[in-house]
Amino acid sequence: MRITHTVAPHEAGMTLQQLLRESLGLSARQTKIAKQAGAVLVDDVPFFSNQPLRAGMVVRVDLNEYDDMKNEPDASAPPVEVLYEDDALIAVYKPALLQCHPSPSAPGGSDTLESRVMAYLGAPAHPVHRLDAETTGIVLFAKVPYAQAKLQRQMQSRQFQKAYKAWVYGVPFPSGGIVDAPIALSAPDSFTRVVRDDGQNAMTIYDCTKTVALPGGGKASLVDLSPMTGRTHQLRVHMAYIGCPLLGDARYGTEESRAASKALGLNYHQLAAVGLRFTHPTSGETVSLHCPARFDFDGDSLPDA
């Protein structure tokens, strides 16, 4: 993967080493190996690491994958559905009930989305973000740590935008708006989250686009969701907070929503990641990725309420 960077006026006077580490975000190991391999050029010629740069100079880095594989790719791993791929990134579809990456509930060697992507690439895969095991949809991986780090910095500054769709029990009122409610652990040893004043800032934009009548009574609504922050379980907690828990959500559902979900045969929450928008870590171009929502709940076959 090639990185091309034009030295900006505010970067003039920085050494090449400083630019590689600070502006381009390369690790010390990446910087050292790239320099030793002769893979760093300034205006197409070699350049000493301690030399100062001038505005307008063009720095080129041919960045290879310097991470060692932690595990050999599993040739027997199930295939992945690739939604987008280039030299730096790959986006794939995650089915329900598959962990994104190794965790206490899916230790190393388990079947995870990350292991499947590694098998597809025959090389390391670096997750940029994650989805709950039950959530379906688009997940982005970086092929090199440099791209992963650049994108995760975008997430911290809210430049990395995500879009979701969900089926919820009930009808949101008002039909659209912003849920601004801090989220905290319900207890120190619990994984369940709650809305509480001492929690972390959390904001979600929602918009109800369809409401249907359920066969056994009650209503369900299809909502578009855009998290403005990235708290664990944020969308599930916020929709439950406004009285519309996700269909199939055993953790945050109400007695009524759980009963309706059971009657509908839903074994996991109906939440799908359908879009990503970000700045490409090497080209600087805006990338918009989309993935149709896939649910176990066939709300489109039910009458509008």
Model pLDDT for residues 102-157, shown as the tens digit of each residue: 765 555 567 899 999 999 999 889 999 999 999 999 999 998 888 888 898 898 88
C-alpha 47/C-alpha 7 separation (Å) is 14
Q: How confident is the model over 39-98, as pLDDT tens digits? A: 899 998 889 889 999 999 999 888 765 444 444 556 677 899 999 999 899 999 999 999
Percent of the chain with pLDDT over 90: 67
**Does residue 281 sit within a domain?**
no
**Same structural domain, 46 and 118:** no
**What six digits make up the tokens of 226?**
């855009």
Sign of CA dihedral 102, 105, 107, 113: negative
For the chain, the domain total comes to: 3
pLDDT band for 185, please (50, 70, 90 cuts). Answer: very high
Q: What is the pLDDT of residues 215-253, one digit of tens each?
A: 989 999 999 999 999 999 999 999 999 999 999 999 999
The structure tokens listed for 254 are 């109400």
Whole-number pLDDT of residue 70: 46
Together in a domain, 186 and 243: yes
- Predicted TM-score of the model (pTM): 0.82
CATH of the domain at 181: 3.30.2350.10
Q: Would you state the pLDDT for residue 69?
A: 45
Domain boundary among 157, 189, 223: 157
Domain check: are 145 and 207 in the same one?
no
Are residue 128 and residue 203 in the same domain, yes or no?
no
Pairwise CA distance, residues 256 & 302, whole Å: 19
What's the pLDDT score for residue 108? 59
pLDDT of amino acid 149: 83
Residues 151 and 170 in one domain: no
Q: Is there a domain that residue 197 lies in?
A: yes
Q: Does 106 share its domain with 198? A: no
Say yes or no: 265 and 224 in one domain: yes
3-state secondary structure 62-105: ECCCCCCCCCCCCCCCCCCEEEEECCCEEEEEECCCCCCCCECC
Please give the positions annotated as active site: 132
**Quick one: pLDDT band at residue 5, thresholds 50, 70, 90?**
confident
Is residue 9 domain-shared with residue 37, that is, in the same domain?
yes
pLDDT at 164: 98
19 phi and psi angles, rounded to 5 deg:
-65, -45
Mean pLDDT of the chain: 90
User: What range does the domain containing 126 cover?
Assistant: 81-157
pLDDT of 25 strictly over 70: yes
206 falls within a domain = yes
Q: Percentages helix, strand, coil for the chain, rounded to the nearest 5?
A: 20, 30, 50
pLDDT above 70 covers a percentage of the chain that reads 93
Which CATH number characterizes residue 9's domain?
A: 3.10.290.10
Is 241 among the domain residues?
yes
Task: Classify residue 31: in a domain, yes or no.
Answer: yes
Q: Domain boundary residue among 133, 157, 181?
A: 157
Q: Do 141 and 99 fall within a single domain?
A: yes
| 95 shares its domain with 194 | no
Q: Does residue 73 belong to any structural domain of this protein?
A: no
Residues 50 and 109 in one domain: no
